[in-house]
Every structure is written in structure tokens, then in C-alpha cells.
């Protein structure tokens, strides 16, 4: 029963469309009608500016972090925490607040994995920043980080008493899913028309 409650909580947290709500209520703009049309932090930054981009990034990461974190405080452990984290990421990408549409899962995954596997996640943050600094493509930073996620998870020691095999499997699923959600970015990257990151 406890697990079911946290699965529901994970989905509801994940589904909170921070980018869309913050854009609408703070600036009267629906970010899904501008820029890449994505509801995530990158497009919030692009459309609403740096302040709101950072707020959406933090809010989206928090909604990924909290469900497995709170569940762990209620005695939920191991593979169940993985399931709750995955549900939060799925909630973000298939939000019932947005007719089962949503973002690409990067910031919410960041929050989930900051809790589950912080060492791997800090390494991925460095990789992400390096790729974006060199190439100026946030999407490429996200894609490369998503590909590196299962590889680093495999080679790093596990944390939070998680079992390696299900953890690696979960990171493969999430990594592939995040890459899949970037299919429009991949097409633009190949055509050379992808948006470049500009400091505002």
C-alpha cells in the first residue's frame, strides 16, 4: 500500500508542469508556443530569460528528488525507490496537467539521480557543462549525459544500498528514453539548425 501511495505521489510530483505554470503566471507566456515548444527548463530559459530558466530547472529537479527521498524516509528501499524515481520522470514527460505531454525528462532525472546516485550525477553535471561550453548545444549536453548515465552507473560503486543490476537497467531505460525524447533536437543537430546556447 505504501508503495502504491508513493507511486501516485511520484507521478503527481513529476507531472507538475513548472515551466508552463511559471511562464503563464509570471509572464503571461505559454512556453509551449515559443522556442523549441518544449515545456522544460531550457526552453523556459530561452523564452522567459535566465531567472525563470534557473527557477524552472531547480523546481523540475526538486520534483524528481523529492519522491524517492520522501519514500526513503518512510522505509522504502532498493528497487522500489528506482520505480518511484522512474514514475516521477514519466510523470514529467506524460503530465496529466498537459494532456499527457511534457518535457524531455532531463531536469527531473537530474533530481531523481542526485538522490539515488549522487557521485554519478555530479560527474554527469561536469560532462554536461563541458559539452555545452564546447559545443553551445544544451541538447547535445543532455544527449551525451543520457548516454553516459548507464555507463558511469555500471562502473561507479552503488550508493543508497541499491542493487547494481536493476539500477543499471533503470539507467539504460531512462537514458534511451531521454535520447528518444530529443529526436527533434537530433534532427536539428544533424541539419546544423539546432538552437545554440547564448548567455543572456
The site for ligand G3P (CB under 6 A) is made up of: 36, 38, 40, 42-43, 104, 106, 138-139, 142, 185, 195
From the CB of 99, what's the least distance to ligand G3P, in Å? 19
- Which residues, including other chains, have CB under 8 Å from residue 151's CB and lie 6 or more apart? none
Backbone angles phi, psi at 101, to 5 degrees: -110, 180
CB neighbours of 31 closer than 8 A, spacing ≥ 6?
19, 20, 23, 37, 38, 39, 43, 44, 47, 48
- In whole angstroms, how large is the CA radius of gyration of the chain? 16
Instruction: Compute the least distance from the CB of residue 195 to ligand G3P, in Å.
Output: 6
Find out whether 106 and 127 touch, Cβ atoms under 8 Å. Answer: no
Going by C-alpha positions, the residue among 153, 185, 162 that lies closest to residue 43 is: 185
Which single residue is written with the C-alpha cell 527531473?
108
Interatomic CA distance for residues 10 and 68, integer angstroms? 8
27 versus 159: smaller Cβ distance to ligand G3P: 27
Residue with Cβ nearer ligand G3P (22 or 138): 138
Nearest approach, Cβ of 17 to ligand G3P (angstroms)?
Answer: 14
Minimum distance of ligand G3P from residue 146's CB (angstroms): 9
How far apart are CB 160 and ligand G3P at their closest, in Å? 25
Indicate the residue among 33 and 75 with the shorter CB distance to ligand G3P.
Answer: 33
Q: Which is nearer to ligand G3P, 5 or 134 (CB)?
A: 134
Return the number of the residue (40 or 175) whose C-beta is nearest ligand G3P: 40
Helix, strand, or coil here: 39?
A: coil
Amino acid at each position: 500500500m505504501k508503495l502504491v501511495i508513493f507511486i501516485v505521489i511520484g507521478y503527481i510530483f513529476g507531472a507538475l508542469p513548472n515551466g508552463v505554470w511559471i511562464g503563464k503566471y509570471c509572464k503571461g507566456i505559454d512556453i509551449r508556443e515559443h522556442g523549441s515548444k518544449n515545456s522544460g527548463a531550457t526552453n523556459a530559459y530561452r523564452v522567459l530569460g535566465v531567472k525563470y530558466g534557473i527557477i524552472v530547472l531547480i523546481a523540475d529537479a526538486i520534483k524528481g528528488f523529492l519522491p524517492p527521498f520522501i519514500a526513503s524516509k518512510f522505509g522504502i528501499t532498493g528497487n522500489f525507490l528506482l520505480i518511484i524515481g522512474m514514475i516521477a520522470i514519466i510523470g514529467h514527460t506524460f503530465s496529466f496537467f498537459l494532456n499527457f505531454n511534457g518535457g524531455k525528462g532531463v531536469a527531473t532525472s537530474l533530481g531523481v539521480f542526485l538522490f539515488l546516485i549522487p557521485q554519478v550525477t555530479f560527474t554527469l553535471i561536469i560532462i554536461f557543462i563541458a559539452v555545452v561550453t564546447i559545443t553551445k548545444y544544451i541538447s547535445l549536453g543532455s544527449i551525451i549525459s543520457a548516454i553516459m548515465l548507464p555507463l558511469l552507473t555500471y562502473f561507479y560503486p552503488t550508493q543508497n544500498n541499491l542493487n547494481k543490476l536493476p539500477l543499471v537497467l533503470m539507467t539504460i531505460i531512462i537514458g534511451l528514453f531521454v535520447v528518444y525524447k530529443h529526436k527533434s533536437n537530433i534532427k536539428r543537430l544533424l541539419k546544423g539548425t539546432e538552437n545554440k546556447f547564448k548567455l543572456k
